[in-house]
Chains A and B, each alone.
Chain A
């Protein structure tokens, strides 16, 4: 506002028709401003448009064609790729594995990291920073590298875990990653170990929003620590629980790196999540089925999008809950 009145004042002194001159000048100024704005947006429009928006749209077209290799011609086949995907039991198996994996790791990440964050948040705890660093350490390391190293750690003959089991006489060698019955649980365990630190940081951030005065006041009123926890901490954390759960759940759909390097989807497809299913048909098959893989990718994208929508709705509800609390 200040700028505008200064400018208007100056024009009036110059003796021209104030209103006309003012609006013409402002129009020019606005045009220049808009030019700058779009110039600033350019890098994002080009890069994001090319590598995210265009692929999202192009996937729909690719899902409607028969296309056996990136250099090959595309032939329109309508919805037959979708029919083939729906008829493939391996697709449904990968959907099931993706969901089971989510149900295994998301609650573990959310609940365990919450308990740990409560303890770490206590001002009386010695070495709290050191503990936090240690629990967060796996998060920063390269997932693909960790996946490869874990193959060796879980090795049935010479890996340290089986060596320990043998040393304590518990068993003589479990092929954790070689058996369909244990592979998914093993990867889930490693996944929790690897990404647990992120959720812990979320919880610590949430706990820090509770002012110590509230707890002090409750203590003066005679509440014991269990009561404080139940009637103050938990209700104040409810909105965060929604946001943290949804962030964590969305994160579990990005398990490709770990799964590909630890098991590659095996043994016998028992750890084949949807992303590996898509990868297998598009890049690992002797004759790539890119149209078919695109149809699976579109369905996967829709699935993640729907979960994301629920997430945004949840965040919105959580914000309202938080506003009510304050």
Chain B
């Protein structure tokens, strides 16, 4: 009996009202998605709007999002007077160097760990996995102490080294996992042709790992650009070394009433990462999803 009812159901033309009713949960879900999405972008829209209002309008306009006149001078104030131009240069320097160091060192390390077994390889792997989740709050005091001893505290070099030396274990694991599953014949052919270990890696293996490199570079870029704890501690006594995230907090501490300048500084700091995300979204999503799949 049930079998007959089941096969008949799709062929019975449902009336318009019934179809609409059946789609009702869908419409509710859709409306919910739209409302949530608006809520999700609201803070950013508010920030952009505030960055273009003049200093008085911010306090009087209430919920009005569109400024009466576009006050572009807020950006000038943030860039020049509040030093965000300097902070931007610092952030770019720190981020570019950190990404380069992390990509190279993780690719090299992931390659040998993923492709070779040697004395100590299991121990190294074990140490890396055991320290996968070490929080910065735990390691920060010795990092500052050793940087002081090496004369690297209060310098961008010290900040770059500390950022590229901390964490990043997951990048090594991604590389190791990728290199492990490449077929053995790849390097055997090259070795017979007389290629060295070094050349096999740089001419065959590294180019093959381009998708991994893209993911690692992007996630490291994101993590470094957005980092706060280490840059904060490394620029305590030298404000000219602040990165954007540290500069933002300092700016608000000094100019609590300049909301428009604060918002402009926020837009300046966030636009590069958001632009990068929108253009390279696929790699971001794949990089993060990789944590679950592996």
B134: A residues at CB distance < 8 A: 52, 56, 301, 304
The answer to whether the Cβ of B136 comes within 8 Å of any Cβ in the partner chain is yes
Give CA–CA (A34, B281) in the complex, Å: 39
Contact residues, A45-65 vs B (CB, 8 A): 47-48, 50-56, 58-59, 62
Task: Assess whether A37 is in contact with B116, with CB atoms less than 8 Å apart.
Answer: yes
The answer to whether the Cβ of A193 comes within 8 Å of any Cβ in the partner chain is yes
Task: Assess whether A52 is in contact with B58, with CB atoms less than 8 Å apart.
Answer: no
As a 0/1 sequence over residues 278 to 296 of chain A, the CB contacts with chain B under 8 angstroms (1 = contact) are 1100110000001001100
Decide: A51 near B270, CB < 8 A? Known: A3-B192, A44-B106, A44-B172. no
Contact-residue size bin, chain A (C-beta under 8 Å from the other chain): 35 or more
Task: Assess whether A300 is in contact with B137, with CB atoms less than 8 Å apart.
Answer: yes
- A16-24, A99-107, A128-136 - the one binding chain B: A128-136
- Other-chain contact of A140, B138, B197, B277 (Cβ < 8 Å): B277
- Other-chain contact of A301, B135, B191, B228, B244 (Cβ < 8 Å): B135
Contact residues, A198-234 vs B (CB, 8 A): 198, 201-202, 204-206, 209, 222
Task: Assess whether A256 is in contact with B229, with CB atoms less than 8 Å apart.
Answer: yes
Task: Assess whether B236 is in contact with A58, with CB atoms less than 8 Å apart.
Answer: no
Min CB gap A72→B, angstroms: 11
- Other-chain contact of A52, B59, B62, B119, B165 (Cβ < 8 Å): B165
Decide: A134 near B37, CB < 8 A? Known: A37-B118, A58-B142. yes
Task: Assess whether B143 is in contact with A55, with CB atoms less than 8 Å apart.
Answer: yes
The answer to whether the Cβ of B72 comes within 8 Å of any Cβ in the partner chain is no
Decide: A148 near B262, CB < 8 A? Known: A70-B144, A160-B46, A308-B132. yes
Give CA–CA (A73, B124) in the complex, Å: 34
The answer to whether the Cβ of A84 comes within 8 Å of any Cβ in the partner chain is no
Task: Assess whether A134 is in contact with B142, with CB atoms less than 8 Å apart.
Answer: no
Interface of B is mostly: helix
Contact residues of B with A, CB < 8 Å? 2, 6, 26, 29-30, 33, 36-37, 40-44, 46-47, 50, 58-59, 62-63, 101, 104-106, 108-109, 111-112, 116, 118-119, 124, 127-146, 148, 161-162, 164-168, 172, 185, 188, 191-192, 197-198, 201, 222, 225-226, 228-229, 233, 236, 244-246, 248-249, 252, 259, 262-263, 266, 269-270, 273-274, 276-278, 281, 284-285, 288-289, 291-293
The answer to whether the Cβ of A92 comes within 8 Å of any Cβ in the partner chain is no
Specify which of B37, B101, B222, B292 lies most central, judged by the most chain A CB atoms within 10 Å of its CB: B292
Min CB gap B239→A, angstroms: 15
B44: A residues at CB distance < 8 A: 137, 141
Min CB gap B91→A, angstroms: 9
A-B CB contact pairs (8 Å), 30 listed: A2-B188, A36-B197, A36-B198, A40-B201, A43-B105, A44-B172, A47-B164, A50-B146, A52-B167, A53-B127, A53-B131, A56-B138, A136-B284, A137-B40, A137-B277, A138-B43, A141-B44, A142-B269, A145-B244, A202-B292, A204-B289, A205-B292, A222-B2, A240-B292, A260-B228, A260-B249, A278-B140, A297-B141, A304-B134, A304-B138
A135: B residues at CB distance < 8 A: 36-37, 40
B259: A residues at CB distance < 8 A: 152, 158
Give CA–CA (A278, B289) in the complex, Å: 32
Give CA–CA (A71, B33) in the complex, Å: 55
Task: Assess whether B46 is in contact with A153, with CB atoms less than 8 Å apart.
Answer: yes
B136: A residues at CB distance < 8 A: 254, 256, 275
The answer to whether the Cβ of A167 comes within 8 Å of any Cβ in the partner chain is yes
As a 0/1 sequence over residues 142 to 166 of chain A, the CB contacts with chain B under 8 angstroms (1 = contact) are 1111101111110000101001100
Min CB gap A254→B, angstroms: 6
The answer to whether the Cβ of A247 comes within 8 Å of any Cβ in the partner chain is yes
Min CB gap B57→A, angstroms: 11
Min CB gap A311→B, angstroms: 8
B197: A residues at CB distance < 8 A: 32-33, 36
Give CA–CA (A136, B286) in the complex, Å: 13
Task: Assess whether A290 is in contact with B141, with CB atoms less than 8 Å apart.
Answer: yes
The answer to whether the Cβ of A243 comes within 8 Å of any Cβ in the partner chain is yes
Give CA–CA (A294, B140) in the complex, Å: 9
Task: Assess whether B109 is in contact with A43, with CB atoms less than 8 Å apart.
Answer: yes
Decide: A59 near B141, CB < 8 A? Known: A144-B226, A149-B43, A205-B292. yes
Decide: A47 near B161, CB < 8 A? Known: A135-B36, A137-B41. yes
Known: A136-B277, A261-B249. 20 other contacts (CB 8 A): A2-B185, A43-B101, A43-B108, A44-B109, A47-B164, A62-B142, A135-B37, A141-B226, A143-B245, A144-B248, A151-B252, A158-B259, A193-B40, A202-B291, A205-B292, A209-B293, A247-B292, A261-B228, A274-B137, A308-B133
Min CB gap B126→A, angstroms: 11
A204: B residues at CB distance < 8 A: 289
